Every structure is written in C-alpha cells, then in structure tokens.
Amino acid sequence: MFINIPSDFNGKTIGVVEEWVPGNDWATYHSDMMATVTEGKATFTFADAVLYEEDKLNIQTTVVKETNKVDWDVKVYNGTITIPVDLSDSKEHTVIVNIGAGTGAVL
C-alpha cells in the first residue's frame, strides 16, 4: 500500500515498477501493478504471492500513460525508495510505502 501520495495524483492511475514485481518489463504495467490514487492512498494486490529473499526492497512508481505504459517522465516519487526487509519467517507481509517521506516498512 502506498500512503501520503501528493494530492495532485488523486484520481490518477499509478504503477509500481521494479525487478522483483512479477511480469515487470520496465515499459508496460500489468493489472497487478496499477492502482488509482484515492485520498492520497493506492493499494496494489498481486494475484500470486511474491517470493522475495533479499534484505532490501526497491520501489519505483510512475503515472500510467495510455492504458498500461510506464511514464518515466511523470514519477510519483522522484527516485527509488529502498526499504530494509527481513522476511525470514516465510509469512505473508504487507509493504507500506510513504511516498511523501520516501520511506517504507514491512508489516
């Protein structure tokens, strides 16, 4: 879930792009990778669980152009948000990304 998204993105469809996202190709979003910003929040739910084994999680996000294209010219956060993670318990987790602060946490 993304929180604290600037108000100028309200009503826009945004996407999450990064190498760990299933189906990521750096140019096109699939449906799991897109969400509409409502009241400064957007929730992404992947149809299949993502197995992640690294100690940090990188997040990049842009506005979606056309129907499903990554718009590298309109980033929701200008850069990459890196979140330290410990998923050694092998349970499902929720990732909260605070766009306004450029931070995040794994719950």
pTM, to two decimals: 0.89
Question: Looking at residue 49, what is its pLDDT?
Answer: 76
For residues 10-21, give the mean pLDDT. 92
- pLDDT score recorded for residue 47: 79
Identify the pLDDT of residue 106: 87
The CA–CA distances, whole Å, from 3 to 16, 48, 65 equal: 13, 22, 21
Average pLDDT over residues 14-31: 89
Residue 50: per-residue pLDDT: 78
Q: Cα separation of 17 and 26, whole Å?
A: 7
pLDDT digits (tens, 9 = 90+) for 35-91: 999 999 999 888 777 778 888 999 999 999 999 999 999 999 999 999 998 877 878
3-state secondary structure of 31: helix
Res. 28: pLDDT tops 90: yes
Is there a contact between 70 and 62 (Cβ–Cβ < 8 Å)? yes
Give pLDDT, residue 48: 77
Tokens, residue 105: 């946490």
Tokens of 46: 């992947």
Question: pLDDT tier at 3 (50, 70, 90 boundaries)?
Answer: very high
